[in-house]
């Protein structure tokens, strides 16, 4: 009996000594170097760096915060986001687990759950249930704080990435209504969603392209084929012609229809759309003299105006459109009447298919980018005017 007691005491002493040894070996918290050298301050700065896309600088700030307090939950949340933005999702989720473990206050828990909404959204390509997980986090926050601007903003961003614009819009509208944070960003996102909803993209490709800040030549090819259905429209609107002349059977056998392609679209995901649109011979969307299509090259507003003008001319059969405004004075302060895209800009704006870029100055901004939502809205207006579909 005595031996058993001594053994228990011995084990207790050993475990206590081991615990003390481990504690003594753990890194000691760094002493603060000034009044602003606090975990809260470093975390706040780190979050600002994340908003600016400076992820390495953000990580440094979170590390400084954790040197002062290894259990500071919000710093672990920030570190998780910084790692996710640098595509280290395994480490990001580890940091978020620590943020969850050390979250004690309501503010810590809300900050952590908003972080999880953002993390799940960034990890959407690898997790089929990412949206369900983000919604669960949002529901938890809303049950405790229905006025969380951050939760509504990032849940709106999640719905936008999921292409569920009908759910995204009210989230951003709620942030604007609350007016307690993320108001400016939510206003920009709400306007974008409103524009996309007006454009009514009917295909998955159209919805994805709607989120692009700039559209590429490949994007436009996809929009023309899938949203405008240009091949069907041309076929319906064109007058059929029949060649009843004699043809040599031998020569006719060898003369097939040439399939237009380009040498740089072999592995492009939109290759089919590009090859189909090349058959339509849209001005400004042809193969270049060197045989390339340059699918990832961004287009500007002037080029897009010329493309739409060409399509409009072919659909209506009104060839006079291509020269209608030549010789007219330019109403645009940034576009001369002798420039090759002047007539297209005039046709687009006078018909209300495209708008000037700056309503106050009347600038057309011919070399400006074409966002995906704008490209879709132009197609919608063209379809409405021509009563297509």
CATH of residue 172 = 1.25.40.10
Q: CB 19: neighbour CB atoms within 10 A?
A: 10
pLDDT at 316: 92
d(CA 220, CA 215): 7
- 358 and 263 in one domain? yes
Residue 214 falls inside a structural domain = yes
Using N-to-C axis directions, what is the helix angle for 55-68 and 73-85, rounded to 10°?
160
- 75 and 58 in one domain? yes
Residue 178 falls inside a structural domain = yes
- 219 and 133 in one domain? no
d(CA 22, CA 337): 79
Residue 187 falls inside a structural domain = yes
Q: Could you tell me what percentage of the chain is helix, strand and coil, using 3-state DSSP and rounding each to the nearest 5?
A: 60, 0, 35
- 157 and 210 in one domain? no
Q: Using CA atoms of 228, 160, 301, 334 in order, give the dihedral in degrees to the nearest 10.
A: 150
- Please tell me the total count of domains within the chain: 2
pLDDT at 248: 52
Task: Spell out the residues 6+ positions from residue 280 whose beta carbon is closer than 8 angstroms to its own.
Answer: 224, 230, 231, 234
Residue at a domain's end among 199, 227, 248: 199
User: DSSP assignment of 331-354, as one string?
Assistant: --TT--TTSTTHHHHHHHHHTTSS
Residue 168 falls inside a structural domain = yes
- 194 and 52 in one domain? yes
Give the domain range for residue 222. 204-238+257-386
- 291 and 166 in one domain? no
- 342 and 309 in one domain? yes
- 228 and 164 in one domain? no
pLDDT at 107: 97
Q: Are 305 and 313 in contact (CB under 8 A)?
A: no
- 215 and 120 in one domain? no
Q: Which alpha helices (H) appear in 202-248, and where do they start and end?
A: 204-210, 217-222, 230-237
Residue 116 falls inside a structural domain = yes
- 312 and 227 in one domain? yes
d(CA 134, CA 159): 10
- 303 and 166 in one domain? no
Distances (CA, A) of 114 to 6, 44, 108, 119, 154: 52, 15, 10, 9, 7
- The encoded tokens of residue 361 equal 């100055």
d(CA 311, CA 317): 10
Residue 165 falls inside a structural domain = yes
Residue at a domain's end among 177, 199, 221: 199
pLDDT at 19: 55
Residues across the chain:
389
- 192 and 208 in one domain? no
Three-state SS for the chain is CHHHHHHHHHHHHHHHHHHHHHHHHCCCCCCCCCCCCCHHHHHHHHHHHHHCCCHHHHHHHHHHHHHHCCCCHHHHHHHHHHHHHCCCHHHHHHHHHHHHHHCCCHHHHHHHHHHHHHHHHHCCCCCCCHHHHHHHHHHHHHHHCCCCHHHHHHHHHHHHHCCCHHHHHHHHHHHHHHCCCCHHHHHHHHHHHHHHHHHCCCCHHHHHHHCCCCCEHHHHHHHHHHHCCHHHHHHHHCCCCCCCCCCCHHHHHHCCCCCCCCCCCCCCCCHHHHHHHHHHCCCCCCCCCCCCCCCCCECEHHHHHHHHHHHHHHHHCCHHHHHCCCCCCCCCCCCCCCCCCHHHHHHHHHCCCCCCCECCCCECCCCCECCHHHHHHHHHHHHHHHCCC
Residue 23 falls inside a structural domain = no
Per-residue pLDDT tens over the stretch 236-284: 876 444 444 554 544 444 444 444 789 999 999 999 999 999 999 999 9
H or E, element range at 120: helix 106-122
CA 315 from chain centre, in angstroms, equals: 32
Residue 244 falls inside a structural domain = no
pLDDT at 29: 74
Ranges of residues in the chain whose predicted pLDDT is under 70: 1-27, 30-34, 238-259, 389
pLDDT at 286: 95
């Amino acid at each position: 009996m005595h031996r058993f007691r001594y053994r228990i005491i011995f084990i207790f002493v050993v475990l206590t000594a081991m615990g003390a040894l481990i504690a003594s070996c753990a890194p000691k918290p760094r002493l603060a170097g000034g009044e602003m050298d606090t975990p809260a301050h470093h975390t706040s700065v780190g979050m600002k760096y994340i908003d600016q896309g400076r992820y390495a600088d953000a990580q440094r700030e979170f590390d400084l915060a954790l040197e002062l307090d290894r259990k500071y939950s919000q710093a672990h949340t920030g570190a998780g986001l910084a790692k996710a933005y640098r595509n280290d999702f395994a480490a990001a989720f580890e940091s978020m687990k620590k943020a969850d473990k050390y979250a004690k206050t309501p503010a810590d828990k809300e900050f952590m759950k908003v972080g999880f909404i953002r993390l799940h959204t960034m990890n959407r390509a690898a997790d089929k249930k990412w949206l369900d997980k983000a919604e669960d986090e949002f529901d938890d926050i809303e049950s405790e704080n229905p006025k969380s601007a951050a939760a509504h903003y990032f849940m709106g961003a999640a719905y936008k990435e999921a292409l569920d614009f009908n759910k995204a819009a009210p989230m951003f509208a709620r942030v604007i209504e609350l007016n307690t944070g993320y108001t400016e960003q939510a206003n920009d996102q709400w306007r974008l969603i409103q524009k996309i909803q007006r454009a009514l993209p009917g295909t998955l490709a159209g919805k994805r392209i709607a989120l692009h800040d700039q559209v590429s030549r490949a994007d436009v090819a996809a929009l023309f084929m899938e949203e405008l259905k240009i091949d069907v429209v041309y076929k319906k609107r064109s007058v059929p012609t029949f060649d009843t002349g004699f043809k040599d059977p031998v020569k006719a056998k060898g003369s097939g229809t040439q399939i237009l392609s380009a040498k740089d679209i072999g592995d492009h995901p939109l290759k089919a759309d590009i090859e189909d649109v090349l058959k339509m011979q849209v001005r400004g969307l042809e193969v270049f003299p060197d045989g390339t299509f340059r699918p990832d090259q961004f287009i500007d507003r002037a080029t897009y105006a010329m493309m739409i003008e060409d399509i409009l001319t072919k659909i209506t059969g009104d060839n006079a459109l291509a020269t209608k405004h030549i010789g007219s004075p330019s109403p645009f302060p940034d576009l001369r009447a002798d420039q090759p895209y002047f007539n297209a800009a005039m046709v687009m704006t006078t018909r209300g298919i495209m708008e000037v870029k700056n309503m106050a100055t009347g600038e057309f901004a011919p070399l400006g980018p074409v966002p995906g939502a704008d490209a879709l809205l132009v197609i919608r207006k063209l379809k409405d005017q021509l009563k297509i579909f």
